[in-house]
Amino acid sequence: MLYRLISIAFLVTVDQFTRYMYSHSIWYTINLDKEGLKGFFLIYITLLVLVIIKFAVKYDKLYGYRPLFNCFFVLFIAAAISRVIDMIIFSGGRDFIPIGSYIIANPGDFYYFLSLVILAIELYNNKKGRLSDFIKPL
């Protein structure tokens, strides 16, 4: 579990650092006056992370250790945390970044896409059970 947390922290740091490096004062404005939204987003990320952790624990119990699912777990939680940091602190800016450098400037969005691709591959390759058998207990 420790290596998962270290991986998540690293991915979030990479995403936030690249956003900072690609940002300009015109693109990003800090909105620290939205206290109600901050609370909402903090609750959102807490619940999302808890659901994904429950999902991972249940999946490990049913099917054993699966490296692809572990990649999904790490990428999805890193993307969710990074997105909430953006929602709390920053607004605007992402639309003004040139398309060619979008993935470089916004790895968090790419984490989401990559995590869903990895989950799809994992569920396709997992011959031990159907997804519906797994989701019902959740």
Q: Which residues contact 72 (CB under 8 A, 6 or more apart)?
A: 115, 118, 119, 122
* Helix runs in the chain, H state only: 2-22, 35-63, 67-89, 102-105, 107-125, 131-135
Report pLDDT for 128: 63
pLDDT tens-digit readout, 26-56 = 344 444 445 555 666 667 677 777 777 777 7
pLDDT tier for residue 107 given thresholds of 50, 70 and 90: low
Report pLDDT for 136: 55
Region 109-126 average pLDDT? 72
Nearest 5°: the CA angle 20, 72, 48 is 75
pLDDT tens-digit readout, 126-136 = 666 565 555 55
Is 0.85 surpassed by the pTM of this model? Answer: no
- Which of these, 79, 58, 74, 61, lies nearest to 1 by C-alpha position? 74
Q: Are 111 and 39 in contact (CB under 8 A)?
A: no
Query: Is 16 a residue whose pLDDT tops 50?
Result: yes
Query: Is 24 a residue whose pLDDT tops 60?
Result: no
Region 10-27 average pLDDT? 59
Q: Are 7 and 74 in contact (CB under 8 A)?
A: yes
